[in-house]
Structure 1
Amino acid sequence: MGGTATNCSVGSSDRKVIVEKIIIDFSVFDEAVSGVGYIKDSTELMVDARKRAAVAEQIDMSAVLTRYQKETGFSTDVVKAQQRELLRFLSLSAVVIRVGKSYGMAGAIDELWHTFVIFTRNYAQFCKQVAGCFLHHVPDTGGAICCKIPCQ
């Protein structure tokens, strides 16, 4: 599950590192969230995130990925890698929102999220299956590169 995390960004540098670790590798989730006092015991959250990610990976995103690849010119391998990271991000976000936390996203992964959101029916169904609620993409208006996900 390794890789780079150049597409992630949130408000503070501490939180940026956390988002990069979480998106890149579920195995550091516990260390990342408990290390800054976000969550005392993340074992249940970790299990929940993995279950949600497994559900997310089964959802057909072929139309979204085709459009995204045409728009960006990225190779199929790059698009698939970005899809994996987006699904991890959304799965983790669906979990931590339940404890009042959120993470930000920027760069190529966020651009893929934008493409996914415009496929409204597909995205709404994804949110229902993975999060149990609609995950709104809410850009930060304070100038930081950040998108929080309030669950409603």
Structure 2
Amino acid sequence: MGFLGAAIVIAGVGLVVYLVKQSSKGRSQQRPRSNSRRRTIDYTSANVPLNLGIRPHIKLEALERRLNKAFAPSFQEKLKMRHLQAQSAMSDAEYEWKLLELKRYFVMCSIMRNVPMFSSAVDEIWHDMLMFTREYQHFCDELIGTTIHHAPHSNVQPMPGDRAWFDWVYSQLFEPTPFSGHIWNAFFRNPLPKPLLEQFHRESKEQLINQLFNRDAASKYPEIKETIEQLIDSTKEHVHRAYDHSSNHTDNHYDDNREYNRSSSGATDTMMLMAGSMLLYSMMDDGAFEQRMQMQAEEEEQRNDGGTSGAACGYAGSSCSSDSDSSDGGGDSGGSSCSSSSCGSGCGGGGD
């Protein structure tokens, strides 16, 4: 082999070595990103609340009693058996936490006019519940006197405004659990729509009930009417405060806004504080909503020494917390058809 042939061989070997190294480097760079989305969720690390975790100032005891009575133990047992047979990797603890969120969803349907579904895992339990047609109809009749309809699946689509409204109402009704943000996907990723904020700023209570809430249930059940009025009064108060603050702080300085949230929101936990921040930052047109909310979440996580309060909102330790994560040994068995927290399926409940 001449000098030229030897040079070609050496060059070829060098090229192969280089390509192998680049390929290995590419895989090593991608691997942490993949692993960062796979987390072990230990559903046995906390106990499911005996009640629905409704906030103490929300007086829905009568609704909760009807739900517990309507959801008979025999029905619950059949539903659990059916679901766990289909979801062989799901533990009893994981099922109970997701069933809790379905019950919370039914509470929201009792109160709101329209409630899109933002969790595929919760929706799967609802699907199985529908298979028991007589029991499900009895459940709905006992709960609010009418069927909570489940529309057929359509293509998953972005619903950021609906998701922000869902997050606001959820935060006002329920105390967060360590798994809320995982099961529902991350909360507070989307701004509340400006037209919705304008509604609460200008329209009457009666107008808001007709447009946004379950007026039929409100007319039948005093506790639902009282809760709807509480939600309207509280939201109006937050909106009016935020409008006043925004008009007096035209520079939208983050530190000023943060102190306003902490002192004026009346928050009792991280979820309510984040909800107040979402409402305030939704009014600002500086394109920094996501950045501001992420900064707020990181500060709250540090303030709570990395506890579970941030995880409850779906922010802690990750830029995305979704029910599409799965892992071995106590991991999440649900699968999400949309990785964004603002996406909803064609199914959803609520009342006119």
Corresponding residue for residue 136 of structure 1: 149
Following superposition, the deviation at residue 139 of structure 1 comes to 4.1
Corresponding residue for residue 47 of structure 1: 59
For these two proteins, the number of residue pairs brought into alignment is: 109
Following superposition, the deviation at residue 56 of structure 1 comes to 1.7
Q: Equivalents in 2 of 1:84, 1:78: separation in Å?
A: 10
Q: Equivalents in 1 of 2:153, 2:86: separation in Å?
A: 24
Q: Deviations over 1:57-114 (max 9, x none)?
A: 33221101110011112111111111111011112112212xxx42323321110000
- CA separation of 1:140 and 1:67: change in aligned 2, threshold 3 A: closer
Following superposition, the deviation at residue 130 of structure 1 comes to 1.0
The answer on 1:105 being equivalent to 2:118 is yes
Q: Which runs of 5+ in 2 are unaligned?
A: 1-51, 158-343
Contact between 1:134 and 1:151, CA under 8 Å: does it hold in 2? Answer: no
Amino acid in structure 1 at the alignment position of 2:84? Q
Aligned residue runs from structure 1 range 63-142, under 5 A: 63-73=78-88, 74-97=90-113, 101-139=114-152, 141=154
Contact between 1:136 and 1:149, CA under 8 Å: does it hold in 2? Answer: yes
Contact between 1:139 and 1:148, CA under 8 Å: does it hold in 2? Answer: no
Contact between 2:99 and 2:122, CA under 8 Å: does it hold in 1? Answer: yes
Following superposition, the deviation at residue 25 of structure 1 comes to 5.6
Q: Equivalents in 1 of 2:111, 2:349: separation in Å?
A: 11
Q: Which runs of 5+ in 1 are unaligned?
A: 1-23, 29-42
Contact between 2:148 and 2:350, CA under 8 Å: does it hold in 1? Answer: yes
Following superposition, the deviation at residue 26 of structure 1 comes to 3.6
Q: Equivalents in 2 of 1:57, 1:85: separation in Å?
A: 14
Query: TM-score, normalised to structure 2's length?
Result: 0.28
Q: Equivalents in 2 of 1:123, 1:52: separation in Å?
A: 17
Contact between 2:66 and 2:142, CA under 8 Å: does it hold in 1? Answer: yes
Corresponding residue for residue 68 of structure 2: 57
Give the share of equivalent positions with the same residue, in percent. Answer: 19
Contact between 2:116 and 2:348, CA under 8 Å: does it hold in 1? Answer: yes
Amino acid in structure 2 at the alignment position of 1:82? K
The structure with the largest alpha-carbon Rg is 2
Contact between 2:99 and 2:125, CA under 8 Å: does it hold in 1? Answer: yes
Q: Which has the higher contact order (CA 8 A, sep 6+)?
A: 2
Amino acid in structure 2 at the alignment position of 1:95? I
Contact between 1:64 and 1:115, CA under 8 Å: does it hold in 2? Answer: yes
Contact between 1:53 and 1:87, CA under 8 Å: does it hold in 2? Answer: no
Query: TM-score, normalised to structure 1's length?
Result: 0.60
- CA separation of 1:102 and 1:112: change in aligned 2, threshold 3 A: same
Q: Equivalents in 2 of 1:64, 1:128: separation in Å?
A: 18
- The Cα RMSD (Å) is 2.6
Q: Equivalents in 2 of 1:115, 1:105: separation in Å?
A: 17
Q: Equivalents in 2 of 1:112, 1:83: separation in Å?
A: 7
Contact between 2:111 and 2:350, CA under 8 Å: does it hold in 1? Answer: no
Q: Equivalents in 2 of 1:112, 1:150: separation in Å?
A: 17
